[in-house]
Chain A
Amino acid sequence: MTMTQALNSALAVMMARDDGVMVLGEDVGYFGGVFRVTAGLQEKFGKHRCFDTPITECGIIGAAIGMAAYGLRPVPEIQFADYIYPGLDQIISEAARIRYRSAGDFTCPITIRLPFGGGIFGGQTHSQSPESLFTHISGVKTVVPSNPHDAKGLLIAAIEDNDPVIFMEPKRCYNGPFDGYYDRPAKSWAGHPDAEVDEGYYRVPLGKARIVREGQDLTVLAYGTMVHVTRQVLAEHGIDGELIDLRTLVPLDIETIETSVKKTGRCMIVHEATRTSGFGAELSALVQERCFYHLEAPIERVTGFDTPYPHSLEWSYFPGPIRIGEALARLMRG
């Protein structure tokens, strides 16, 4: 399956298992979503279970919170992560706080799906990676799959989770893994081992990273599209790096990270999002605090630049093979 199909399958599986699971968002109903993630769900489960909404992100999230308070398990979609901002008050002040402020009297088991990330000539408002806005909020979980198998298992786990989950889908990888070489023909998921997706129900637990590639020379912390880009760069440089796909940013799998960095003594953090106060800063601080005496070189952060996401200069902006390669070289020298 592609990641799109895997996500669609996760939604269908959960809608069949639990009649409280409701899919709502702009164009998700009859049309099946601008990225086809919700295709066929309305036809299969009815308009009461999968429906189109007015174009108001805070209305979508606010209504989903109310539906969750009633006892349902809504899965709202925000068409692009770049458009989540009008919904932030409902996420930060409400969804994230309801269990806490009511001492468990009310809960908010919603999963907000957000297509995010660049590499698609999306320009300023179809390319952003706002994950650090969510990781900074106490009370929400942030999940980022990188492949079809994880996308389905993580989405099922997110829907079943009793806390609000921000589920960020790297849209550059909807149809195939992207290794950073924008000038080569796009790859499809066909034949990729992580694209073998079970038709039925399975979970990938939240809060658990995956070691994509074991290695001795350094540890790479990445998520989303950057997992594929980094994997390619490591192979090109012939470096025996340990590549960790974080999968969940909050709660973070600190154990896997700590064990790996203590083994390798070097750490590179890669994300598409802008650098300053990005999630990489948190990762860097944690590694520094916990692995300081094992570090043989300064921690490297490879990220997007601190600018809005540009259109024509996309491939200068995107943290691709050159930027990652330079960071690798600095790390291995140190």
Chain B
Amino acid sequence: MAKSGKTDTAAPPNRPGLTFHVPEPPFRPGDAVDYSFLDIPPPDRIPRPDETVEARQVHDLAYGLVRVLGDDHEASGSWDPRLDPAMLLRMLRKMALLRAFDDRMFRAQRQGKTSFYLKSTGEEAVAIGAALALDREDMCFPSYRQQGILLARDYPLVRMIDQIYSNRDDPLFGRQLPILYSAREYGFFTLSGNLTTQYPQAVGWAMASAAKGDTRIAATWCGEGSTSEGDFHNALTFAAVYNAPCVFNVVNNQYAISTYPGFAGSERTTFAARAIGYGIPGIRVDGNDILAVWSATRWAADRARLNLGPTLIELFTYRAEAHSTSDDPSVYRSAQERQEWPLGDPITRLKRHCIARGIWDLERQEAMDLEVASEVASAQKEAETHGILGHGLHQPDTTMFQDVFEHMPWHLREQCEQAIRERALKWPERP
């Protein structure tokens, strides 16, 4: 056979050998944890600029950390949104509800009532703070860890659990993995298992809104690990080119399953700073400070509404628990990390702030915790009357073939008939 006509060339002598760099996280299982390398500034180190600020002027925002709640639990600085007590207590309740929901659903998975669950513990402020700062009509393109948006928008808990159980009332007919919700009426775009695909879609939605002279904006979320996907780049390019009214959120919770953010490039920059290169303001926010999250989201939303274009918000937080019910973080990270995390817990921080402001106390907190737990428990009980995964009849087999297309073509009709035939043979008692 013919041979390629390449010849070897000798390497030049006396050159130093190259070294291959593989990032290594600061802590591994068994390591003592010391977060002193993180710069956690006090609330007003980075003042809130005017919404008209340009990307090249926001280096402080992109490399710093915007905070409202200080270590003294007081709100201060120019980012303080000065929310009224009713809003603060609404935030507190929604975060407590989300944590109770996550805990309950995690246990439901362990009890075999569903195949899978994924908590957002420690990141409650990210979804709820943002959702409460956006308008109800704005369209959210979330990733799988923003279930808080649904709670903030009062989506029925029973319906969420129906989806998690894939039971006969599951609005998605048992087609989707648990937690991959879809709720158009609540401005919550159908969740995909494929990471960051929602980013350019959010931009497209925002472009459409702008092209039609609408007033609604889009917001989207991904994790810091998912910023490595090509769609992150595509979306930011598109958003910058068309000045799309879109808010990008990067939830930097320090982990992408087992990998720390160094594997997404954090050794050299922040995720907020990436936006600047696209000509998009980037702002890095204390993701466990719901007032800072609310404030930054509102700032970004206002920019979008004023036709000033997209903004990227990096939410600096910590994934307090396992990636999912299929994950055990003790095999890749230090058990001390969670308690040493310098930005604390979002619920505890808001609670202490509310107490410091004299609008809340531990007694009321205790009563509220009981209330939200019982709200979740009764929703769960109701959902279980609709069945749990694998128990009882769920959807008729025809639903498996519907909605592939608007109208079922002949080949799916044939396969549907086959499935129904097989079902009658497999389970003659419940054809």
- Residue from the list A106, A251, A252 in contact with B189, Cβ < 8 A: A106
Q: Is the CB of B237 within 8 A of A252?
A: no
Binds B, one of A8-16, A93-101, A113-121: A93-101
Q: Is the CB of A48 within 8 A of B211?
A: yes
142-173 of chain A: CB within 8 A of chain B: 161-163
B283 at the interface (CB under 8 A from A): no
Q: Is the CB of B194 within 8 A of A93?
A: yes
- Residue from the list B206, B235, B406 in contact with A59, Cβ < 8 A: B235
Which residues in A have their C-beta under 8 angstroms from that of B183?
A: 105
Which residues in B have their C-beta under 8 angstroms from that of A99?
A: 403-406
Q: Is the CB of B238 within 8 A of A106?
A: no
- Residue from the list B192, B211, B235 in contact with A93, Cβ < 8 A: B192
CA distance A311 to B174 in the complex (A): 49
- Residue from the list A62, A86, A107 in contact with B204, Cβ < 8 A: A62
A132 at the interface (CB under 8 A from B): no
* Total cross-chain contacts (CB, 8 A): 146
A200 at the interface (CB under 8 A from B): no
- Residue from the list B202, B207, B208 in contact with A71, Cβ < 8 A: B208
Q: Is the CB of B406 within 8 A of A66?
A: no
B272 at the interface (CB under 8 A from A): no
CA distance A250 to B411 in the complex (A): 10
CA distance A102 to B197 in the complex (A): 15
Q: Is the CB of B205 within 8 A of A90?
A: no
Q: Is the CB of A97 within 8 A of B192?
A: yes
Most B Cβ at <10 Å: residue of A53, A103, A162, A163: A103
User: B222-251 vs A: 1/0 string, CB under 8 Å?
Assistant: 000000001101110110010000000000
154-203 of chain B: CB within 8 A of chain A: 171-173, 175-176, 180, 182-184, 189-190, 192-194, 197, 199-203
Q: Which residue of A lies closest to B230 (CB)?
A: A58
Q: Which residue of B lies closest to A162 (CB)?
A: B406
Which residues in A have their C-beta under 8 angstroms from that of B193?
A: 93
Q: Is the CB of A103 within 8 A of B404?
A: no
Which residues in A have their C-beta under 8 angstroms from that of B208?
A: 22, 66-67, 70-72
Q: Is the CB of A70 within 8 A of B404?
A: no
User: B401-421 vs A: 1/0 string, CB under 8 Å?
Assistant: 001111001110000000000
Q: Is the CB of B203 within 8 A of A63?
A: yes
* A62 shortest CB reach to chain B, Å: 3
204-222 of chain A: CB within 8 A of chain B: 207
Which residues in B have their C-beta under 8 angstroms from that of A93?
A: 192-194, 197
Q: Is the CB of A65 within 8 A of B201?
A: yes
Interface of A is mostly: mixed
CA distance A304 to B406 in the complex (A): 34
B218 at the interface (CB under 8 A from A): yes
A56 at the interface (CB under 8 A from B): yes
The 4 A-B pairs with the shortest beta carbon distances in the complex, nearest first, are A66-B204, A62-B200, A59-B234, A63-B204
> What are 22 A-B pairs with beta-carbon distances under 8 A?
A22-B208, A54-B234, A54-B237, A59-B200, A62-B200, A63-B200, A66-B207, A66-B218, A69-B139, A69-B204, A93-B197, A101-B175, A101-B180, A101-B182, A102-B184, A103-B182, A105-B171, A105-B182, A138-B404, A161-B406, A162-B406, A163-B406
Interface residues of B (CB under 8 A from A): 139, 141, 171-173, 175-176, 180, 182-184, 189-190, 192-194, 197, 199-209, 211-212, 218, 230-231, 233-235, 237-238, 241, 403-406, 409-411
Taking A101-B180, A139-B404 as known contacts, 19 extra A-B pairs with beta carbons closer than 8 A to each other, sorted by chain A number, are: A53-B238, A56-B237, A59-B231, A62-B203, A62-B235, A66-B141, A67-B204, A67-B208, A72-B208, A86-B230, A93-B193, A93-B197, A94-B192, A101-B190, A106-B190, A141-B405, A207-B409, A250-B409, A251-B410
